[in-house]
Amino acid sequence: MVDFTLTDEQKDLRELAHNFAEKEIRPVAWEYDRDGTWPQEIIEKAWEVGLMNIHVPEEYGGPGLDFVSGALIEEEFGWGCSGIGTSLAANGLAMTPVLLGGSHEIKKKYLGMLTEEPKLASFCLTEPDAGSDVSGMKTTAKKVGDKYVINGSKCFITNGSYADWYTVYAKTDPDAGHRGISAFVVPRDDTITIDKKEDKMGQRASNTATVTFNETEVPADHLLGEENKGFKLAMMTLDRTRPGVAAMAVGIGRAAMEFAAEYSKERVQFGVPIAMHQAVSFMIADMATEVEAARLLTWKAARLLDQGVRNTLACSHAKRFAADSAMEITVDAVQVFGGYGFIKEYPVEKLMRDAKIMQLYEGTSQIQRLVIAKEVLMGRNVDEPLPESAARQNEAAAKESETASASV
């Protein structure tokens, strides 16, 4: 049984996040999208009011918020602008492997960097030849004395140009496929270069870059978890971050639905507002149902995490449905606006462009279907508790397919 009743604190947090999105993000969203503006000022404001690094435990300077609270915040970010929202939320993806696999000293140092100042970190998994199939990665980490030396390039890295440290996945056993991957926390230095900033279709206010490591040395204690267990750590991470991505997709869909509903009441054709035509009103009704269903799936995935229950199936349900729904809703919103929906002067074309990435990053919709199918067909107990190690996650599915979920 999953209880979706929000506490007073969660309601207050949602109101704080909505007001921030309404006052700080929405007014500049379309301008930042048009110009590809980096939202540094908004990042600093979000950090100041406590809307970043929300899952960092109190002992490392964070608020230690639950995952449902995180979903509430990210929905509002998506409602305001998912490009800016992604810039604000990406620290969560980078820090999760540190939370799961880092020593106390590593957590204190690197999580503390994020809570003491408005600094950024990036998650480096995807490569040009290793997207959904992570086992194809070519980045290596070679043990030399008491250090690892990392060489290779990572692409589609969110906040890559601005990060102060990186969570990097690399092959420590190049012949072992996904069983030879390890994870490291890597501070930025002169051996790390930013080779390319992507010019994207959507989420243009977020930074997406290629990051290259050239003989980059890191101390051996910067290994996260065990050597050659990085793939499992990545899967454990994504089970914790996908509910946030789903929540942001809900926010995009909700925004598109609201714009379409308002426009349908104002636009008059054949002597009446187009909302009075069943063809349009049914589209709005379907949008509302999809937003509601996607939100509930997202909350369930987040609540299971908060209860310490394995959520692999639930988070794939949520991420797949919310992402696909956001795409469908935004396409229909453009349709409701008609020809005006195709014009940049109107808001919904941006939302349609932004929605597409939701079906791609942190595991494509097809990868989510793969995970769902394996979970259902294998007949695993979806209510089993998380092991003390913080999770076996879906390693069984990984062993069979050697397919992991790509992330930016």
The catalytic residues are 362
Closest among 6, 144, 116, 10 to 70, alpha carbons compared: 10
Quote the CA–CA distance of 151 and 168 in Å, as a whole number: 11
The answer to whether the Cα torsion of 139, 143, 146, 149 is positive or negative is: negative
The runs of H, that is alpha helices, within 267-311 are 278-306
Query: Is the distance from CB of 138 to CB of 275 less than 8 angstroms?
Result: no
> 216 near 186, Cβ under 8 Å?
yes
**Cα–Cα nearest to 47, from 143, 130, 99, 119:** 119
The answer to whether 141 touches 172, Cβ cutoff 8 Å, is yes
Helices (H), 169-266: 230-266
> In the numeric block, which tokens belong to residue 147?
């250090």
Q: Is 139 left (phi over 0), alpha (psi -120 to 50) or beta?
A: beta
Strand 268-269 versus strand 192-197 pairing type: unpaired
Per DSSP, 229 falls in state -
Please tell me whether residue 318 adopts helix, strand or coil conformation: helix
Which helix (H) or strand (E) segment is 80 a member of? helix 67-101
Q: At what angle do helices 312-337 and 365-378 cross, to 10 degrees?
A: 140
Tokens of 356: 């597409």
CB 148 within 8 A of CB 181: no
| Residues 354-363: b if buried by 16+ CB within 10 A, e if exposed | bbbbbbbbbb
